[in-house]
Homo-oligomer: A and B are copies of this chain.
Amino acid sequence: MTFNTFGHMFRFTTWGESHGEAIGCVVDGVPPLIPLSEKDIQPYLDKRRPAQSRHTTQRKETDTVKILSGVFEGKTTGTPISLIIYNEDQKSKDYGEIKDSFRPGHADYTYMMKYGIRDYRGGGRSSARETAMRVAAGAIARKILGSSITIRGAMVQMGDDATAKRDWAQVPKNAFWCPDSATAKCWEKSLDTIRKEGSSIGAVVEIVAEGVPVGLGAPIYKKLDSDLASAMMSINAVKGVEIGDGFAAAARPASRRPLCCQAHQLDFNAS
C-alpha cells in the first residue's frame, strides 16, 4: 500500500521518525531538465524551521537538506530525487515516564493499538516533523509549476480572533505569518498568556493560488478539491478544510452567488 506516498504523476514517499537518525523523501515523476539544487529547497525549509520565535516548538534543528540522487550537473534527469535531512536534536534522555503514557490528542495510542509497538521517544512518524519532507518535495513541485502560478499563504485566525485584512507584505514580518500587523501584535500577547497557562490554541490558515489553469487536476475522485482536502487533512492536527466559500456557501442562496466561478482563483482554508 502507498501509506507514505502522496501524489499521482508527481509523487513523493516520505520516511523517518522524529527522533531517528534522519528523515527524508523520494520524489518521483519530476520532469527532466529542471534546474535544481539544494538552494531551491532550503529557503522553504528555513521558513518552516521550528524555534524561530518563542511561539513555536523549541526543538533546535537547522534542517539542512541534501539531494542524494536525480540531479546531474544542476538539472533533474527524470529519475527519482532522494532528499535527506539529518536530525540534530536527538539528545538521549530519560524516557522513563513518556515510555508508559500516551499524550492526549496525539497518535501514540492509535499507533500502539494498530502496530503493537511505538517509538516512544517522540511522535515517530506522526510527529509534525514529517511535514518537513512535504515542504522539501513541495519546493520541487514549485519549481516545476513555474512563475505563472502564484501561491500565497497566511495565518488568518487564532482561536476565535479572525482578521479580514490581507496585506501579504506583512506575512513574513511577524512570528505568526499574519497578513495584518496589528492583529499579529494582539496574538503575541494572547499567546503569551495562553502559554503561561500551560495551554495551546488552534488557528486557521488561508492559502490562495492564482493563475491556476482551467481544468488542472483530474475529474471525480482525483479532482483538485479532493486532492487538496486529502493533503490538508493528512497534516497532524488539521480538522477542517474549506475550498472557495466553504461552509459559508451553505448559508447563501444560489441567486446571490457570483454567476461565474472562474477557475483562475482558488482559495482554500485549513484549520
Question: Is the CB of A135 closer than 8 A to any CB of chain B?
Answer: no
Instruction: Tell me whether A79 and B219 are in contact in the complex, defined as CB-CB below 8 angstroms, given that A229-B232, A230-B229, A241-B233 are known contacts.
Output: yes
- A107 partner residues in chain B, CB cutoff 8 A: 219
A211 close to chain B: CB less than 8 A: no
Q: What per-residue 1/0 map shows which CB atoms of A231-245 lie under 8 Å from chain B? A: 111100011111111
- Residues of A255-271 at the interface with B, using a CB-CB cut-off of 8 Å, are 255-257, 259-261, 263, 271
User: Are B250 and A204 in contact, CB atoms less than 8 angstroms apart?
Assistant: yes
Known: A4-B28, A4-B221, A219-B3. A250 touches B202 (CB 8 A): yes
The residue from B84, B124, B241, B260 contacting A77, defined by CB atoms under 8 A apart = B124
Q: Contact check, B81 vs A2: say whether CB atoms are below 8 A apart.
A: no
Cα–Cα distance between A22 and B126 once the two chains are bound (Å):
27
CB neighbours of A29 from chain B (8 A): 1, 3
Chain A contacts with B in 173-220, Cβ cutoff 8 A: 194, 197-204, 214-215, 218-220
Interchain CB contact under 8 A, B250 and A271:
yes
Closest to A255 in B: B199
* B15 and A82 form a contact (CB under 8 A): yes
Is residue A172 contacting chain B, with contact meaning CB distance below 8 A?
no
Q: Are B221 and A226 interface neighbours, CB within 8 A?
A: no
Total copies of this chain within the assembly = 4
Query: Across the interface, do A203 and B250 meet the contact criterion of CB distance under 8 Å?
Result: yes
Give A75's nearest chain B residue, CB to CB.
Answer: B117
* Interface check A116, CB cutoff 8 A: yes
> Is the CB–CB distance between A21 and B68 below 8 Å?
yes
Write the nearest CB–CB distance from A238 to chain B, whole angstroms.
Answer: 8
Q: Chain A 14-43, CB within 8 Å of chain B: the 1/0 string?
A: 111100111110101100110000000000
In the A-B complex, list the 3 residue pairs whose CB atoms are closest, starting with the nearest: A114-B215, A202-B250, A230-B230
Name 28 interchain pairs, CB-CB below 8 A, sorted by A. Answer: A1-B29, A3-B222, A15-B70, A15-B80, A21-B68, A22-B69, A32-B116, A33-B116, A75-B117, A77-B117, A77-B118, A105-B257, A111-B215, A113-B215, A114-B214, A159-B250, A160-B251, A199-B255, A199-B256, A201-B253, A221-B230, A228-B233, A229-B232, A239-B244, A239-B247, A240-B242, A240-B247, A247-B271
User: Which chain A residues have a beta carbon within 8 Å of chain B's beta carbons?
Assistant: 1-6, 8-9, 11, 13-17, 20-24, 26, 28-29, 32-33, 68-70, 72, 75, 77-82, 84, 104-105, 107, 109-111, 113-119, 124-126, 130, 157-160, 194, 197-204, 214-215, 218-223, 225-234, 238-247, 249-257, 259-261, 263, 271
